Structure 1
Amino acid sequence: MFDVVIVGSGVVGSGIARELSKYDLKTCVLERGTDVAVGTSKANSGIVHAGHDTKTNSLKSILNVKGNAMFDRLSKELDFPFKRNGSLVICFDESDIEKLEALKEKGDNNGVPRLEILTKEKLRELEPNINENAVAALFAPTGGIVCPYEMTIAYAENANANGVEFVFNCEVKNIIKSENGFTIETSKGIYESKIVINAAGLFADDLNNMVSKNKIDLVARKGEYCLFDKLAGEATTRTIFQLPTDLGKGVLVTPTVDGNLLIGPNAVDIEDKSNLSTTQEGLDEILSKAKKTLKEVPMRQIITSFSGIRAHSSEDDFIIGEAEDAEGFINAAGIESPGLSSAPAIAEMVENIVIEKLNPAKNDKFNPIRHGIPKFREMDNEERKNIIKSNPSYGKIVCRCETVTEGEIIDAIRKPLGAKDLDGLKRRTRAGMGRCQSGFCSTKLVNILAKELNIPVTEVTKFGGESNLLIGKNKEI
């Protein structure tokens, strides 16, 4: 019997797991995928929103502003990349300046600090590549950028190091309320728990509806993106939005924490929650809108496109709290934008609910510090000499585009909750994320995975399941 079972290991589920690892609780995370951060948390804008555009007094506004302020501490404790680059909301018509002023007033009411309306001239000083048609902007200096999957991995690794169990390839089939808590039927057998936390992302409505008569209906809203080479990363230094619409914050242009340029997303409601395809129509749409933001969009520097799906609630707010008719079943559902920005505060909110119900003792062995994999590309020559001296595998470059070494790859596999496939390596080290998109390094990565996991190369997959890369050897001549 577990004290707490968390369903879902995205940034919210992993964040909750980390917070609960501070207590003497028997906690388990069940994940239907092969790794953490394989759903919405792996494919989004990576933006830490300031919080000026959410409805005042909504959970989104309260948790966004609170969560934003927690990133500096968390990024240091958990060693994930985060930068406060600031954000801009621009408009193209003098008559829309009053809308910026209304947005600022909303942000002030939400508690967002240091918001400022910039003139056309001041805007040009900050962002020389801004389109000449932009007439004003709302500047939010507390806006930031983060690597969403590195943040999730950091949360999960720290939770695991502090005693939380993670079970992968474990799909929840049914949840039954029992006298002592819940019986959770999964593809890997039965789990019993006093409390269930529903952090299942796109599928959180399915879980809630298994136990509660108060049904949740989540809409899968897909967004498409274009990622540009690092040569295009200086097209802007801040995250730039256009005035938001009813469908969201619209197409943004932003640098990433790794130095790339990212453009997107659009917003298309879909039926199939697994549909991560991109379309020419969708990509043309976001690039066309981005050209309204920047003087010049470096089209030749696009290295890949992708899509992500967020769970939109008909209530247009986060759904967080204990189900009224299922005591001990706690929802963290409908976590769409600004879900990533709010994740630290969501984790604390759920933590407080659990602590109030179970009143556990503190975990006196809790260690808040997690160290990431050393990044060879960020080291100076002296640091490189020292790490190669202590571990010669750091002297062998595997991914040339991103300067990732064999040592980093091996560490990524051997770490707690380590990589088991190519995408897992990519998220932990950036191997395969450069301009050649793993054209040169994939063979080496497959061989290292096979050796470290002690499996044939034909069993190495891209993202688990049946995504095998090789089917056998060529006939020898």
Structure 2
Amino acid sequence: MYDVVVIGCGIVGAATAYELSKYQLKTAVLEKENDVADQTTKANSAIIHAGYDPEPGTLMAKLNVEGSRLAKELCQKLSVHYNQVGSFVIAFNDEEAKTVEEIYERGVKNGVPELRILSGEEALKMEPNLNPKVQCALYAPTAAIVNPWEFAIALAETAVRNGVELYLNNKVVGIEKTADGYLITTDKNVYETRYIINAAGVHCDEVHNLVAEPEFRSLPNQGQYYLLDKSQGKLVNKVIFQCPTKVGKGVLVAPTVHGNLIVGPNSHFVEGYEDVSTTADGLAEVLNASLKSVPGINFRENIRNFAGIRAYIDREDFLIAESKTAKNFINLAGIKSPGLSAAPAIAKMAVDILRDLGLSATEKEGFVDTREKINFKDLPQEEKAAVIAKDARYGRVICRCETITEGEIVACLHSPIPPKTIDGVKRRCNAGMGRCQGGFCGPRVQEIISRELHIPYSEIEMDKTGSYIITGETKVGGNL
């Protein structure tokens, strides 16, 4: 019998698992994919929002500002790439300038520190590649960029190190009420628990309705992106937003923590909960919108396109509450933007709800709240030499685009949540994230996975379950 089972291990589920791992509880996490952070979390804008956008008094507003502060602390503790670059919301006419003033007032009410409105001249002095027609800009110095999947992986790994049990490839297919709690049936096993945290993202309504009367409906919303080469990475230094509309914060232009430039997303409701296909029309929409902000973007330097699904529900605010018809079943639903920013605060709120429902949570002695991770290319030269002296594998570069060494790949393969796919390795140490997108290092990464985890080549997948790379021999025997 578990005290708590968390369903879903994206950023919200991982943050909740991390928070629960601080206490003397028997906790499990069920994830339907073959890795953590393999849905919405791996396909978003990677922004830690300052908190001026949500309406004052909403959960979004409260949890965004608190979560932004906590995210900065956690990334420092857990060796996660994080850079507080600040953000602009730019206006091009009097109507948009009025919107900027309204957002400023909203941010002040939400408690966002250091906000100020810049003139067009001041904005261009800070960001000379902006459209010269910019009239004014809201400047939020506390906004940041982060590696979103690394953040979630770090939280999940730390939770596992502190005793949380993680079960991958476990899709929840049934939930049954019992006298003491719930029986959760997956496509692999059955788990018994006293409390359930539903952090299943776009599938939250499906999971909830397995045991309770419907209360909300998921509305999957897709956004498409460009990822540009490092040659474009210094075009802007901050996150550049346009004035928000009814459909969201609009297309942004921003540097990434790895030195690239990310552009997107658009916003369209879709039928499929996992429709991450890109389209020519969708990408053209993103391109045209972004050039209004930064006319000099060279889209010939694009190295990858991708799409993500936002976890909208049929209400404006986050839904963080016990189900009305299933006692001790807590929904963390509708966690759209600023969900990544708010996740650590959402997790704390979830634990508070559990306590209010009667869960006894005693703090654990010896809780591990740090994570050591070597990012070899970021080290000073003398430290690189010292690392290589201890382990020669750090002297062998496998991914030349990103300067990722064999030592880093091996380390991630022996981490608390070892990846078993090429993209799983990529998300942990960045091998394959560069200009060639793994075209050169992919086979070598596959070889290292096979060697270190004793997995036959034919069983190693690219990413999702079933995405096999080798399916059989093309020739058997014979002479060349």
The 5-angstrom pairing of residues 177-188 of structure 1 reads 177-188=177-188
The 5-angstrom pairing of residues 17-96 of structure 1 reads 17-96=17-96
Worse-matched range after superposition: 68-77 or 80-89:
68-77
Matched-pair contact (CA < 8 Å) for 2:116–2:140:
yes
1:324 aligned residue: 324
Q: Identity of aligned pairs, percent?
A: 43
Instruction: Give 1:347 shift.
Output: 0.6
SS of match in other structure, 2:210? helix
2:279 aligned residue: 279
SS of match in other structure, 1:72? helix
Number of equivalences: 476
Mapped partners of 2:126, 2:261: distance in 1: 17
One-letter identity of the residue aligned with 2:119:
T
The 5-angstrom pairing of residues 75-474 of structure 1 reads 75-356=75-356, 357-372=358-373, 374-474=374-474
Q: What TM-score do you get using the length of structure 2 for normalisation?
A: 0.98
Residues 235-285 of structure 1: per-residue CA shift (max 9 Å, x gap): 000000000011100000000111110000001111111211111111111
SS of match in other structure, 1:325? coil
Mapped partners of 1:399, 1:95: distance in 2: 48
One-letter identity of the residue aligned with 2:74:
L
One-letter identity of the residue aligned with 2:339:
G
Mapped partners of 1:227, 1:62: distance in 2: 31
The runs of 5 or more residues in structure 2 that have no matched partner are none
The runs of 5 or more residues in structure 1 that have no matched partner are none
Mapped partners of 1:94, 1:274: distance in 2: 39
Mapped partners of 2:190, 2:457: distance in 1: 33
One-letter identity of the residue aligned with 2:363:
K
Instruction: Give 1:103 shift.
Output: 1.0
One-letter identity of the residue aligned with 1:77:
K
Matched-pair contact (CA < 8 Å) for 1:71–1:82:
no
Instruction: Give 1:215 shift.
Output: 2.1
Matched-pair contact (CA < 8 Å) for 1:52–1:107:
yes
Mapped partners of 2:457, 2:259: distance in 1: 33
Mapped partners of 2:208, 2:50: distance in 1: 30
Residues 147-173 of structure 1: per-residue CA shift (max 9 Å, x gap): 100000000010000000000000000
Mapped partners of 1:60, 1:212: distance in 2: 25
Matched-pair contact (CA < 8 Å) for 1:432–1:439:
yes
Instruction: Give 1:300 shift.
Output: 1.9
Displaced runs of 4+ in structure 1, greater than 3 A? none
Residues 351-373 of structure 1: per-residue CA shift (max 9 Å, x gap): 1122332122221121111222x
Instruction: Give 1:71 shift.
Output: 2.1
Instruction: Give 1:94 shift.
Output: 2.6
One-letter identity of the residue aligned with 1:44:
N
One-letter identity of the residue aligned with 1:363:
K
Mapped partners of 1:355, 1:415: distance in 2: 32
